[in-house]
Structure 1
Amino acid sequence: MSLPGSAEIASAAELAGTPHLTDLHHSMDRWFSEVARVLPWRAPDCSPWGILVSEVMLQQTPVVRVLPVWEDWMDRWPEPADLAEQPSGEAVRHWGRLGYPRRALRLHAAAVAIVEQHGGKVPDTHASLLSLPGVGDYTAAAVAAFAFGRRETVVDTNIRRVHARLVSGLALPAPSLTASEMRLAESLMPDDVTLSVRWNASVMELGALVCTARSPKCSDCPVRDSCAWLAAGEPPPTYTPKGQAWHGTDRQLRGAVMAVLRVADSPVAPELFERPAADLGFDAEGTAVPLAALHRLNSAPEQLERALEGLLRDGLAEMHDGGLRLPA
């Protein structure tokens, strides 16, 4: 079995309904049945709320980091109403160190909207999911597919990379999602609804486990004989991906400030973020530990000021009694 070469895929719709595509669907489905990771949000009894939470947490965050936080959230807030009745700061507190904590605020806002506008039940269509705060096209499609069995075109980073190599013969997809990529993804979707859901999941899994950005395990790929990139001799990327810097950035400093606020029992005076940890007078088991980590960054005063202002502006912190705390 082999797919047409990349030159023939200018119009990816040519694949629709061909034996090549049907074989591809079933090869991927068999592979997924054999090797798919056992993840709690894939369990048959996982609620739509659990799947929504997982999809938001998994954005730009690996599974191994998400698992313990997801499990903690589902223990604390098994239904949207359980989270909605809490202050938004509790969502941020228990977001831990997943990064991009505004996602916690969006999940809290979505929980409130689900309670107020949908009777406490996660809506079951792409359009209604899109109406929730912080839910974009990808998340709406993923939840509609994986929670409600809808035929939706799900396109994340892993899926884009598999499509780029398998069909287009490219080492990597474009730096940002393009309209042509979406058309390609739609043309590859099985017509059968159940198979379409598994296709989304299987291609995503292939990108996560085998067709990785660095050092793909092509010998383990169930559709390697159909891969346009392999057939083309594994041409290199047409651009150099830019990694996200961390050390010394505002993001690192914001994360360190958030670590202090998550463990603080009362508002933290702004000047405490600037003083040496030895002068704080806190127990080692208390706020002094994350404060010491913050101070070790040796950030410039203007960077710290920018970080604090940014957290306040983004709603991740608020001023109360002259200090900063998580939002109430």
Structure 2
Amino acid sequence: MSTEITDTSRRLAPRLIEDWFLANGRDLPWRTALPHSSGCTPWGIMISEFMLQQTPVIRVLPAWEAWMNRWPTPADLAAEPASEAVRAWGRLGYPRRAQRLHAAAVAIVEKHDGAVPDTREALQELPGVGAYTSAAIAAFAFGRRESVVDTNIRRVHARLFSGKALPAPSFTAAEARLAEELLPEDRAESVTWNAAVMELGALVCTARSPKCEECPVAAQCAWLAAGSPEPEYTPRGQAWHGTDRQVRGAILAVLREAGTPVPRELFLERPDGWDGPAGTGSPDLSWGGSGVLHHLDALHRLKAPAEQRERCLAGLLKDGLASESDAGLTL
């Protein structure tokens, strides 16, 4: 990697990337960095940041819209039990995010008069809000100059400025320093820069199939100048099939659909002679309807060992994502 390439990248990249973003950025309902944005409340941006953690935009959009329609303010969500947040979370994955978002709404009502706090420090005191989320909310909801560094931004920085195919497996101090150095001094421009680099990583500078021919800074890219070297390690994708996460998700799908407690034994053993929702021998689930039957059948089709289902039930109860009474389990 030549010094000249790096210097050129640092000088030209901000303007080129921001111009590209202003012309090509997606018009997402929680986005405020584009000139034609209709605006979004800090609470709406906060919900989006929780939902977008490890979940793609295409799956978040309908869920975000449903949440904003149902709970347009923190007070609206705080007024309902946490189980309703978990139920409405649907299939976004990592349902503890819903639980923490509900807890954050309660804290906002109790400690901030129902208004989302506007500084990174105050935000980070809320349940479920860490370093990245607090910086993102402060920047995108309140226009503060904060270094927002997600996976997409790390990848763009690694290729454009460091000549690496991928960033280090874990966020490093050197990456943090680089992000701070690149952040524009002007507050408004810093917000646009954060959103623009994030969008470039999401749409063009992707992990597996980068569209270098569409990249506005290809001529300044240290990775391309170095001949596009292979990654120094092989990223490990998160397993899903057969994991506790999959089984927990299947159990929660049943509980979300059920209107009353579901007997514990229905999670642990497939009823004798039951061929599924459309088959014979179906258990008496008239209280839950066809949706419960469908999700219960999906759980049993996983063929998870009984001890794994027991472990997942225990974990959901411990995490507060489910509760149990003599009648059975509920959210």
SS of the equivalent of 1:287 reads helix
Question: Shift of residue 21 of structure 1?
Answer: 2.8
Q: Distance in 1 between matches of 2:269 and 2:233?
A: 44
Give 1:139-158 correspondences, 5 Å limit. Answer: 139-158=133-152
Gaps of 5+ in 1: 10-14
Tell me how far apart the structure 2 counterparts of residues 286 and 252 of structure 1 sit (CA, whole Å).
18
Q: Does the 8 Å CA contact 1:169/1:229 hold for their aligned counterparts?
A: yes
Q: Counterparts in 2 of 1:28-43, with a 5 A limit?
A: 28-42=17-31, 43=37
- 1:270-309 correspondence runs (5 A): 270-276=264-270, 278=274, 279-283=282-286, 285-309=290-314
- Of 225, 229, 239, 1:235 maps to 229
Residue matched to 2:40? 46
Say which SS state the counterpart of residue 117 (structure 1) adopts.
Answer: helix
Aligned partners of 1:3 and 1:226 also within 8 Å:
no
Match of 2:219 in 1: 225
Match of 2:178 in 1: 184
Distance in 2 of aligned mates of 1:209 and 1:163: 15
Which of 14, 36, 53 is 1:25 aligned to? 14
Q: Give per-residue Cα distances to partners, 1:189-221, cap 9 Å, x unaligned.
A: 111111100000000000000000011000100
Deviation at 1:109, TM superposition (A): 0.3
Judge conservation of contact 1:276–1:295 (CA < 8 Å) in 2. yes
Aligned to 1:197: 191
2:95 aligned residue (101, 116, 126): 101
CA distance in 1, matches of 2:144, 2:218: 28
Give 1:24's aligned amino acid.
A
Matches within 5 A, 1:2-81: 4=3, 21-42=10-31, 43-81=37-75
After TM superposition, give the deviation of residue 5 of structure 1 in Å: 6.2
Q: What is the number of residues matched between the two proteins?
A: 315
In structure 2, do the counterparts of structure 1 residues 318 and 3 end up closer, same or farther at CA, with 3 Å as the change threshold?
Answer: farther
TM-score by length of 2: 0.92
Q: Please give the root-mean-square deviation of Cα atoms over the aligned residues, in Å.
A: 1.6
Q: Which letter maps to 1:271?
A: E
Post-superposition Cα deviations, 1:131-150, rounded to whole Å, max 9, x if no partner, equal 11110010000000000000
The answer to whether the 8 Å contact 1:5/1:169 transfers is: no
- 1:325 aligns to 2:327 (yes or no): no
Report the alpha carbon displacement of residue 180 of structure 1 after superposing the two structures with TM.
1.1
